[in-house]
Amino acid sequence: MVSIADYYAGKNVLITGATGFMGKVLVEKLLRSCPEVQTLYLLVRPKAGQSMQERVSDMMKCKLFDRVREDNPDFHQKIVPISSELTQPALAISPEDVERLTSCVNIIFHCAATIRFDEPLKHALQLNVMATQQLLNLAQQMHHLQAFIHISTAYANCNRRHIDEIIYPPPVEPKKLIDSLEWMEDSIVCDITPRLIGDRPNTYTYTKALAECVVQKESSKLSIGIIRPSIVGASWQEPFPGWIDNFNGPSGVFIAAGKGILRTMRANNDAVADLIPVDVVINLTLAAGWYTAVHRLTFPPAALVYNCTTGGINPFHWGEIEHHVMSSFKRNPLEQAFRRPNANITSNYLMNQYWILVSHKFPALIYDLYLRLSGQKPQMMRIFNRLHKAIGLLEYFSSQDWEWNSENMNMLMSHLSPEDRKTFNFDVRQLNWPEYIENYCIGTKKYVLNEDMSDIPAARQHLRKLRNIRYTFNTLLLVFIWRVFIARSQMARNIWYFVVSLCFKFLSYFRASSTLTN
């Protein structure tokens, strides 16, 4: 069977979501490990005052592409941006671009989606469901298409505890829902959203389940593969360990803990933290594209689903993550930390609320008061409120376990040659979790916060300063409380005098013993 790199040689690939986290890694991996690929067409929209060409140009300047740049300085010539807007009819692709794409594209990787858990339902439907349907319509017009790979999520069916590699019946017929919501005002849709999503935690997982249904309906006409990654984190090995470029998911939590802002989080210490490195997901995605295309004539008319998870193969728990994250940030501290890293995970609601009050809100009020008195704008309470909202959205996923079947992923691995298993490695059994978490934390420091590793000695000195301030404050607070308590109670005064007299007697005994010894 032809190797993966040889298959992609001379192929034209269409990628949506290429400027996102996973999309960037996919583009880089294709260019580096499949250097003979013909052209990468990227659907990109103008954003924040930048044209699509400027956005793609900025993306290619990213450190992520350093290895590709060394191997082929002219790699940008293989990239062709296509103006598109996923929320518009026909994806707002011009007739000229439609003609170009339909005449030459061989593989589609659909990575674009809104990953916001609190996205309004109408907008989430537009981006995750309707855009997928329109891309499938475009795919059916392509004369040389060999594979359509859709990126879903392992949590699309999180209302089930055991999840097989099949597409489950949707909670509602997607077209009926879209037609029903079309005439409704946003306020009405917002009011009925909780009843619509039912036992799913948010609009993201709900619309991703609907999108899988939309994709399945076209599987008789197209060769389709569906990738279901769990919680996508920093890179494991490629293009280098620990690469991450955003605050989403666990990255923001790790940074908040490293800065000393996060002190408590509600989660189950014994629950499996199903993190999956981004390069594992991309390697599986490219291998699935190869397998889907090569076997397209022998497949039954159904989409092949790949659960891309670690929990059932190489489990790691939230309690272990807490330990290794704290240890890593103490060895490699972040600059200008608010407090020393010391976050704790608890599954008890009341205990969590107590620590939020004592360790989050009370220090935030004091710090904001200091900022006001010094003529600065208070900000710490606003930061903590945003942090609490983000952690609240993650709580559902950090408090329970799921079981994912991964037979198709194992089957795909068995079809790879030894060389392809090295180049497109997605065997998570080889993943060393403590080492991965260490690189993840360093990655947030280097690539998200843009901090220099040479400044670690200064950051450690800052942590020692914070430790001394904390010890001094706690000592003064203890003395103050004790003195107030003593002033109000005769019994407390008697205990105080007794303890002090014992201390003096011990010192006198120690001095006498020293004199006799001499």
pLDDT at 301: 64
**Ranges of each domain in the chain:** 4-243+272-317+402-434, 457-517
pLDDT at site 518: 56
Q: What CATH homologous superfamily does 4-243+272-317+402-434 map to?
A: NAD(P)-binding Rossmann-like Domain (3.40.50.720)
In contact, 327 and 248? CB cutoff 8 Å: no
Structure tokens at 334: 């972040």
Distance of alpha carbon 32 from alpha carbon 517, whole angstroms: 76
Q: How far apart are CA 17 and CA 23, in angstroms?
A: 5
In DSSP terms, 50 is beta-bridged to 47
Asked whether 235 and 442 are in contact (CB, 8 A), the reply is no
Q: Which residues does residue 344 pair with via DSSP β-bridges, in sequence order?
A: 264
**Three-state SS for 296?**
coil
Intervals of the chain under pLDDT 70: 296-301, 485-488, 510-518
**What's the pLDDT score for residue 343?**
86
The answer to whether 209 touches 168, Cβ cutoff 8 Å, is yes
Number of residues in the chain: 518
Q: Encode pLDDT of 296-322 as tens digits.
A: 666 666 789 999 999 889 999 999 999
* pTM recorded for the entire structure: 0.89
Alpha-carbon gap, residue 405 to 304, rounded angstroms: 13
The confidence score (pLDDT) of residue 299 equals: 61
Question: Which parts of 39-108 fold into alpha helices (H)?
Answer: 52-60, 66-71, 95-104
For residue 264, report the phi and psi dihedrals to the nearest 5 degrees: -150, 150
H/E/C letters for each residue in 339-376?
CCCCCEEECCHHHHHHHHHHHHHHHHHHHHHHHHHCCC
- CA R_g for the chain: 28
Angle at 276 between CA 387 and CA 193, to 5 degrees: 50
